[in-house]
Amino acid sequence: MTMDSEQLQERLEFAREIARHVADEILRYYRADDLEVELKGDSSPVTLADRNAEQLLRERIAERYPDDSILGEEFDDRVGSGSCRWILDPIDGTKSFIHGVPLFGTLIGMQHETDCLLGVCHFPALDEMYFAGRGLGAWQHKGDKEPERIRVSKTASLDEALFCSSSVTGWAEVGRRDAFEDLCEQTRVARTWGDCYGYMLVASGRGDVMVDPQLNEWDCAAILPIVTEAGGEFLDWKGKAKIDSGNGFATSPTLKDAVLTILAD
């Protein structure tokens, strides 16, 4: 099965629709005094908002595209008979969500065969959405304004760059605190505006480098097409455009080699 631009546009609009659909459910728990937080087996936090949002996304996808597979962070895989797979992270940045920080987002990606063809990143608390489809460009939609095309920055060198990452401790856990410190030293500004927000900073040209030492497929599937369609690169630490390597970074083609040199073992 092949997918033409019209079919891809239809699926992208659907992904945007269901991202907005779950926003109210997520915001119902945001900054709630009685929010309950559990720890999963890997010690990462999860809330009822995460689970409810993913369940709603799964229901909408199964209703619209019953043959498609679904991979999500909170529930078991759904294996379909078709060639498309949706990859979901209902709240990317659960730690931000728990602490009342608005830099969390809903990530919806879709693969056809093994190619990540579309991505949506919606920030419910900011009323901002970033979205892209292969060959359809990358866009930002804020509030009631018309969507605007986004592009990565033209920053020429690392010493002019804004570098972001999600977690400082994660670098030590993979034995690469040296790379984190090198990036901090060689860039103009280093901040932990992380998770999907950091990648959207890169895609929209407000940030220059976003690196994570620990990633899952649901963290990456929506981000890869958005960054790529914005003229940037989303790669693993070996320079491959993959979502299952366990790590990743986003930047412009201009800075790619400099970042890879630092990340190299």
pTM: 0.97
Q: Is the pLDDT of residue 3 over 70?
A: yes
Q: Is the pLDDT of residue 1 over 70?
A: no
Q: What is the mean pLDDT of the chain?
A: 96
Distance CA 117, CA 153 (A): 22
Q: What is the pLDDT of residue 42?
A: 79
Question: What b/e sequence results for 131-161 when a residue is b if at least 16 CB atoms lie within 10 Å of its CB, and e otherwise?
Answer: bbbbebebbbbeeeeeeeebebbebeebeeb
pLDDT-based confidence at residue 34 (cuts at 50, 70, 90): confident
Question: For 171-227, how does the pLDDT look when each residue is reduced to its tens digit (9 = 90+)?
Answer: 999 999 999 999 999 999 999 999 999 999 999 999 999 999 999 999 999 999 999
Question: For 104-143, how does the pLDDT look when each residue is reduced to its tens digit (9 = 90+)?
Answer: 999 999 999 999 999 999 999 999 999 999 999 999 999 9
Q: Is the pLDDT of residue 2 over 80?
A: no
What string of DSSP letters covers 17-73?
HHHHHHHHHHHTTTT-TT--EEE-TTS-EEEHHHHHHHHHHHHHHHHH-TT-EEEES
Per-residue pLDDT, averaged over 140-153, amounts to 97
Q: Is the pLDDT of residue 265 over 80?
A: no
Percent of the chain at pLDDT above 90?
95
Task: Delineate the domains of the chain, giving CATH numbers in brackets.
Answer: 5-149 (3.30.540.10), 158-263 (3.40.190.80)
Q: What is the pLDDT of residue 40?
A: 84
Per-residue pLDDT, averaged over 22-47, amounts to 91
Per-residue pLDDT, averaged over 33-52, amounts to 89
